Amino acid sequence: MRPALLSIAYIPPISWMAVVVQSGKAVLEVHETYPKQTFRNRCNIATASGILSLTIPVKRINGNHTKTFDIQIDNSKNWQQLHWRSIVTAYNKTPYFLFYRDFLESIFTRKYDLLVDFDREILNALFKVLKFKTIEISYTEEYVMKPEYSDLRNSFHPKYPLRDINCVLPRYIQAFEELHGYLPDLSIIDLLFNLGPDTMPYLQSAELSIHE
C-alpha cells in the first residue's frame, strides 16, 4: 500500500489505524481549513447504552477559515474528566483495560490549548503501546492540493461510510455485544482493551484497498 495522507484524529477509528499500519508511512494533515463534526475531535466507544460519541469542544479563532493547527480546545468545559470517566465506565471490565489504562489516563489530566497537540499526544501514546517501530509518522508543512500520497484526508467521517477506501475488519468479541450486537469500526481503544497484544496482528489482517 502507498503511503497515506490522513486527517488527524482523536483516539482514531480502527480503520484509520489499519491504514497507518499497512501503509507503513503516514502524513497527517494540519494545514487544511478545519472541517466540523469529524474524527479530528471526536471518537466512538461502546457503552452499556450503545455507541457513545466523545467530542472535544473546540474554538475556531478565525471562524470558518481557521486552519486545523490553529484550532483551540475550549477548556472552559470539564470535558477531559467527563471523557475519561466515560472510558473507564465503558471498559473497566474488559480483559486488558487495567494493563493499558495508564498510557491514556495521564494525558487526560494535563491541559492542552491546541487540538493538534492533544491529538498528537494521544497518537504518540497509541503508537508507543502498539510498538509502531517501523512505521513513519509525520505532519504536513503546507496544504497540497494534489499530494503524491494516497489522499484519505476526507475518507473517515462519523456520519458517512468510508470514502475512497474499502476496509473489511475481522470480527472480535466486544464488551456489550450481548446488548447491542456487534459494533464495527469503533475507536481503536475498543479493540485494544478487548484484544490487548493481538491488536497489531488484527490491524495487519484487515482487508484494505484504496481507490486511487
Domain contains 209: no
Domain contains 97: yes
pLDDT value of position 173: 95
What percentage of the chain reaches a pLDDT higher than 70? 100
Q: What DSSP line would sit under 115-132, residue for residue?
A: HHHHHHHHHHHHHHHTT-
Domain contains 114: yes
pLDDT value of position 97: 97
pLDDT value of position 212: 63
Average pLDDT value over all residues in the chain: 94
| pLDDT tens digits, 7-53 | 999 999 999 999 999 998 999 999 999 999 999 999 999 999 999 99
pLDDT value of position 38: 96
Domain contains 210: no
Range of the domain at 8: 4-200
The domain total for the chain is 1
For the chain, first and last CA: distance in Å?
11
Cα atoms in the 13 Å half-sphere on the side-chain side of 149: 22
Domain contains 163: yes
Domain contains 40: yes
| pLDDT tens digits, 81-131 | 999 999 999 999 999 999 999 989 999 999 999 999 999 999 999 989 988
| pLDDT tens digits, 142-184 | 999 999 999 999 999 998 878 889 999 999 999 999 999 999 9
Q: What DSSP line would sit under 41-110, residue for residue?
A: SEEEEEETTEEEEEE--EE-TTGGG-BGGGPEE-TTS-HHHHHHHHHHHHHTTSTTHHHHHHHHHGGGGS
pLDDT value of position 94: 97
Domain contains 13: yes
Domain contains 205: no
